[in-house]
A and B are shown apart, each in its own frame.
Chain A
């Protein structure tokens, strides 16, 4: 890891922690940051502990973990397809997960009896994971030609599968009643509202298990940047590595989607920003992960408090609205700078 990447990672980590603390301290009951830290370290009075550890920490933790998972997923996909547009949103993970989750929301919704506790807790996340994996499996299998997964083809076929899934989602929104459609639309935007530990823990496990595995592929990723031919002459088994990375990226994105819905743009933007800030040939994994965590935490802070600060009203926006609104202009700015430099 070069010094620049190291500094970037450290800065992202510190900022993410700082914003997480702020996020734990603001809300209906404002708490001093000192009390929050005390509660996190095991002290503080009962009320503070309840608010910080039981109510706010699951949400903040889910945000951090989901950010890491999406960002790493995006970094892997962009590197292995050598396409800056590649992200779980494009190759079908998010749309597969969305179609499956919305199916559960609408079909088990008020139309056919209220969704019960267990179905809501397990059904939607489980459906999201299965849907995401299934969609990507389809994309992966269809992209194989003469035994090799073609880089450009993954993105193009992903677009096709995503289009199919999205039209199913649109149809489900029409046949459901308006309450279910509203809930589905909120889920589709990507929201961290009312998360519990049962949302955070699966994502946490996925990150804990898969991030080290992804980092272990660092050398192969470096080689893939140079092209398939060069990579295989350097001793990389291109096809096998690509499948492994595709699986890792998919599982990370599917788990993240199951935890918080398909939060837009994190997977697309975080790797690009990290790559440009670090001035590397491909998105650096660790910096990307931390940048993703920072991005989602900051966006959620804005989503929770933005409209109130602007005095529009006491509404909370879904975090995905903010990540897209913030991420898109930044990406536009970066593309513009790159083109001027050419």
Chain B
């Protein structure tokens, strides 16, 4: 059984490699395997080398990183809330990051991706902890309470964002390009700036996986088995906040990736989080790279942003997953 799971995980890893390669080779100009290999190993400054090394490689790298972050964030949220709807977008985390970025744009502190990351991180963390605190008044965070609280916070933050955006055309102009969710034009500098956040988030998620399995048995049983529920929740929230902030800062609020990755992973690997979390990372990465590639191929000169592709293509896939299995975790 374990062998089968390892095999499937390796399969997912290969899938990521394949779409990574395809993303380097395909686009407005189609390159052969040889040209891509040449660009990667012994670049000589030809057109093809420039396209691969300075355009396609950076954005594909960012897509892998962000896809993994948002995929894991979704799986973690689904585990912690025991709610099939859980996703950074729906639970107000992306909305918090978005509001912080819009505030940053308005005040003028957001000039580079670097400052966007910090804004998004602060917003995401405040939103994550706010939702958790609000939902855990009284007898602790119940899955339904957390879901409702997240929806309320998301709406509140969204309203504040649109109030700011509507009063100022400049902010709207910056915001709409960021809010669509895209990896276009993202370079290695972006990946470098979000990498520390992503790495810490992924490590925390890995640490949290076993605790999540215990939490799935119910808070009382988990506490009886010696788990510090407070600490497990805290680590989980910190991981969700960091991963979402990294993803949102680099690419804007790309919706749906968390839902999609978490559900697909659950279908392939079952409920064990030690398998689910790495699987969600790989599925998220493959999905975002594929979405970006599809957007480049269908859009022609003006490409369709990855966030749009994920929304339109991901939705039917997601509906299929929902229709095949029970919705309550």
Contact = CB atoms under 8 A, between A and B. Distances in A.
Partners in one complex: yes
Interface residues of B, number: 57
A325 interface: yes
Interface stretch (B61-69, B116-124, B169-177): B169-177
Nearest to B328: A152
Contact of A317 (B137, B163, B179): B163
A320 B159 contact: yes
A60 B144 CA distance: 36
A188 B166 CA distance: 11
A65 B316 CA distance: 35
B156 A329 contact: yes
B2 interface: no
A160 B144 CA distance: 19
Interface residues of A: mostly helix, strand, loop or mixed? Answer: helix
A84 B142 CA distance: 14
Contacts of A268: 151, 155
Contacts of A322: 159
A172 B166 CA distance: 17
Contacts of B180: 167, 170-171, 173-174
A155 interface: yes
Interface string A325-336: 101110110011
Interface string B146-176: 0111011101101110110111010011001
Given A159-B85, A325-B160, A167 B327 contact: no
Contacts of B278: none
Contact of A174 (B158, B160, B177, B315): B177
B148 A153 contact: no
A57 to B, nearest CB: 26
B315 A164 contact: yes
Contacts of A340: 137-139
B323 interface: yes
A209 interface: no
A161 B315 contact: yes
Given A156-B84, A167-B255, A167-B311, A324 B319 contact: no
A171 B145 contact: no
B158 A324 contact: yes
Interface stretch (B218-226, B265-273, B301-309): B301-309
A217 interface: no
B134 interface: yes
B139 A342 contact: yes
A332 B255 contact: no
B314 A185 contact: no
Contact of A152 (B310, B311, B327): B327
Interface in B278-329: 302, 304-305, 307-312, 314-316, 318-319, 322-323, 327-328
Contacts of B90: 159
Of B137, B158, B176, B314, the most chain A CB neighbours within 10 A belong to: B176
A325 B159 contact: yes
B243 interface: no
A84 B89 CA distance: 18
A318 interface: yes
Given A145-B323, A163-B311, A178 B179 contact: no
A140 B187 CA distance: 43
A170 B176 contact: yes
Given A164-B315, A185-B165, A174 B322 contact: no
A182 B255 contact: no
A161 B153 CA distance: 21
B172 A185 contact: yes
Contacts of A181: 172-173, 176
A252 interface: no
A335 B172 contact: no
Contacts of A159: 85, 90, 259
Contacts of A295: none
Interface in A241-292: 264-265, 268
B137 A336 contact: yes
A85 B155 contact: no
A166 interface: yes
Contacts of B256: 163, 167
Given A178-B172, A342-B139, A324 B305 contact: no
A164 B163 contact: no
Interface string A76-95: 00000000110000100000
Contacts of B315: 160-161, 163-164
Nearest to B181: A170
A172 B179 CA distance: 12
A321 interface: yes
Interface of B: 84-85, 89-90, 134-135, 137-139, 142, 144-145, 147-149, 151-153, 155-156, 158-160, 162-163, 165-167, 169, 172-173, 176-177, 179-181, 255-256, 259, 302, 304-305, 307-312, 314-316, 318-319, 322-323, 327-328
Given A157-B322, A178-B173, 20 more contacts: A84-B148, A85-B148, A85-B151, A155-B85, A157-B319, A159-B85, A164-B311, A165-B311, A167-B256, A168-B311, A170-B176, A173-B180, A174-B176, A178-B172, A182-B166, A324-B155, A328-B152, A331-B152, A335-B134, A341-B138
25 contacts: A152-B327, A153-B323, A156-B327, A159-B259, A160-B319, A164-B315, A167-B310, A168-B308, A168-B311, A170-B176, A171-B180, A173-B176, A181-B173, A185-B165, A188-B162, A264-B155, A324-B156, A324-B159, A327-B152, A328-B159, A329-B152, A332-B134, A335-B135, A335-B152, A340-B137
